[in-house]
Amino acid sequence: MTIQTKKEATALIVTITGRMDAVTAPEYEKKFSELITAGETFFIVDFEQVDYISSAGLRVLLATAKKVKGVSGKILLANIKGGVKEVFDISGFGTLFPMHDSLASALSASGC
């Protein structure tokens, strides 16, 4: 898994590539802790290139979302599809997070 960030006017775009599993998920949590400590509060996480997620991945998404909520921030998720979307749907996580079909849609929502 690799994590890249890009600052936009209204949000920080966090692009994840690869697998979010029990081995890689802690990297996600660590990265977000650093970003929150650095003062970031509004995130769009791009899942376009995430091809696998397990409960360990969902666990860090949830833990991170709680931290972001704690600093009155927000996380939007974009481009969740395929098997990853099925995992979100079956676990009920699809209703826990605001989900967008494209980065453009998430960015326009973040400007509100």
In the complex, which residues of this chain contact other proteins (CB under 8 A)?
Answer: 21-23, 52, 54-56, 58-59, 62-63, 65-66, 69, 82-83, 86-87, 90-92, 96-97
User: Whose Cβ is closer to other proteins: residue 35's or residue 58's?
Assistant: 58
User: Whose Cβ is closer to other proteins: residue 8's or residue 73's?
Assistant: 73
- What is the rounded distance in angstroms from the CA atom of residue 111 to the CA atom of residue 106? 9
Phi-psi category of 48—alpha, beta or left, where left has phi over 0 and alpha has psi -120 to 50? alpha
Give the nearest distance from C-beta 92 to other proteins in angstroms: 3
- What is the rounded distance in angstroms from the CA atom of residue 33 to the CA atom of residue 39? 10
Q: Which token pair is 43?
A: 């995130």
User: Whose Cβ is closer to other proteins: residue 2's or residue 104's?
Assistant: 2
